[in-house]
A and B are shown apart, each in its own frame.
Chain A
Amino acid sequence: MVRFFRYLWENFKEYIILIILILLSLGALSLNQQREIKKVRAVAFGSFAFVTSFISDLVNISSLKNENERLREINAELMLQVNKLRQYGIENQELRSLLNLKDTTKYPIHPASVVSRSLSRSQGTITINVGRNDSIKPGMPVFDGQGLIGIIYSTSEDFSLARTLFNTDLKLTVKNERSRVNGIMKWNGENLVIVDVPKTYDIQEGDRVVTSELSSIVNVPIPIGVVIGISKVEVGIFNEVQIKPFSDINGTENVFVLKVVESKQKNDLELNFFNRK
């Protein structure tokens, strides 16, 4: 018996090692949601991000001049828009007070910089330079001036890892801003799509898509993108709606984290998977 195993080892050790390592890798695939793994991951990317933040700062300095010019331009445009919105705001406040509605439009945000990114067609993640010390928690949305970038997935003391919209594991409830139709949006490896949309729903190309208040992850309306196509599935009753994100998700450098104040009452009612033990 021993001689047989020795024969196997001596003649096929490359394959034996390969099979063992493949089995270990497949085993690891099922451990992703374990708390211990999340802790190890937080330590690993936290330590690594500490180093990459220096390099990232150096890289970003070179692009600061161009960005400053672009920001000045955007600033001027925004100033004009703010004036307009201020007028609407006053009108809105007056109308709300007439109807006795609560105002829920103030959200705390925290600025951050992207220190490293893992670009892949299916597992997009970014590391940002704010963490638990800044009261950042998993589940908080990350966005830039244009729209939603992703969701915080894991945090260390000073850094956080966020899944971008280009990550197949991120699924969000979104809403058509015009027709108020809700749907589930995900990245399918090629496109950002709203899946299983009944053909009777009113969705048109050019419609703006925002996060839905029905979402248990992001229940604040943050712009996501614009509808660029509706694939007519010949068989069945559902369509697939393609979305083009507003943000340059793979290129963005400066972002904000929306520190959504969790409503315990609401979380107790809803199934929020980020809080699930």
Chain B
Amino acid sequence: MKFNYFIPVLVFFPVLILQTTIIPLIAIQGIIPDLILILLVYFTINNGQIFGTVQGFVYGLLFDLITGSLLGSAMLAKTLSGFVAGYFSNENKRDFYLRSYMFSVIVLICAVIDSMIFSFLSSADLTTNIFSLFFENGIVSGIYTSVISLLILVFFILRRRF
């Protein structure tokens, strides 16, 4: 069994610590970027669709257990996000996807899907305007995650140059 398969799980815990301690400090109106999703997209593009789908499931399971959110909500959301990110795991274009603005676009797509499914499952309430819920929970949150992924990307590109 490849050791590479365990790296995403090992990296998950420090990132979750950041997600639950530091990241809430940069919340805007209760909306925070999802570092775990950025991590999921990165490993999925590197390792393929099946890997990403399973990784999303494992990340979701751990996230639900540790943070106390509805068990199954993040599991489903992250499984589907990992699956969608897997479509961008083309060996010929991998470098382009990981080292250009495209990475943020992929993160945006996956983050919107992730946030929408998560919010739909965890706040299914017929009295709430479902479109505004999807806009605030899905798109706004996805854009914020995408912007942060762009900053991380720029940071790593600059670090390589200097």
Contact = CB atoms under 8 A, between A and B. Distances in A.
A21 B123 contact: no
Interface string B149-161: 0000000000000
Contact of B57 (A25, A168, A188): A25
Contact of B136 (A27, A121, A195): A121
A91 B80 CA distance: 63
A122 B69 CA distance: 9
Given A122-B119, A122-B122, A59 B22 contact: yes
A186 to B, nearest CB: 8
Given A59-B25, A118-B20, A190 B133 contact: yes
Contact of A28 (B49, B75, B136): B75
**Chain A contact residues, majority secondary structure:** mixed
B1 to A, nearest CB: 17
A17 interface: yes
A120 interface: yes
B124 to A, nearest CB: 8
Contacts of B136: 121, 190
A28 B21 CA distance: 27
A32 interface: yes
Given A22-B76, A56-B21, A44 B66 contact: yes
B98 interface: no
Interface stretch (A45-53, A72-80, A200-208, A209-217): A45-53
Given A25-B60, A117-B20, A119-B30, A188 B69 contact: no
Interface string B126-158: 011100110011000100000000000000000
Given A21-B53, A31-B71, A122 B137 contact: yes
Interface in B12-50: 13, 16-17, 20-22, 24-25, 27, 30-32, 49-50
B103 interface: no
Contact of B86 (A14, A116, A121): A14
A166 to B, nearest CB: 7
Contacts of A168: 122-123, 125
Contacts of A55: 17, 21-22
Q: Among the interface residues B27, B86, B122, which one has the most CB atoms of the partner chain A within 10 A?
A: B122
Nearest to B133: A189
A25 B58 CA distance: 10
B54 to A, nearest CB: 7
A123 B73 contact: yes
B68 A121 contact: no
Contact of A189 (B16, B54, B123): B123
A173 interface: no
Contacts of B121: 29
Contacts of A161: 68
Contacts of A29: 70-73, 76, 121
A122 B32 CA distance: 13
A26 interface: yes
Nearest to A46: B66
B76 A125 contact: no
Interface of A: 13-14, 17-18, 21-22, 24-32, 37, 40-41, 44-45, 48, 51-52, 55-56, 59, 115-125, 127, 153-154, 161, 163, 166, 168-169, 187-190, 195, 240, 250-251
19 contacts: A18-B79, A18-B83, A24-B57, A26-B76, A27-B72, A29-B121, A32-B72, A40-B65, A41-B68, A52-B17, A59-B25, A119-B31, A120-B69, A123-B69, A125-B67, A154-B68, A190-B132, A250-B30, A251-B24
Interface of B: 13, 16-17, 20-22, 24-25, 27, 30-32, 49-50, 53-54, 57, 60-62, 64-73, 75-76, 79-80, 83, 86, 118-119, 121-123, 125, 127-129, 132-133, 136-137, 141
Across the A-B interface, give the 6 residue pairs with the lowest CB-CB distance, nearest first.
A122-B123, A28-B72, A29-B72, A118-B67, A116-B20, A189-B123
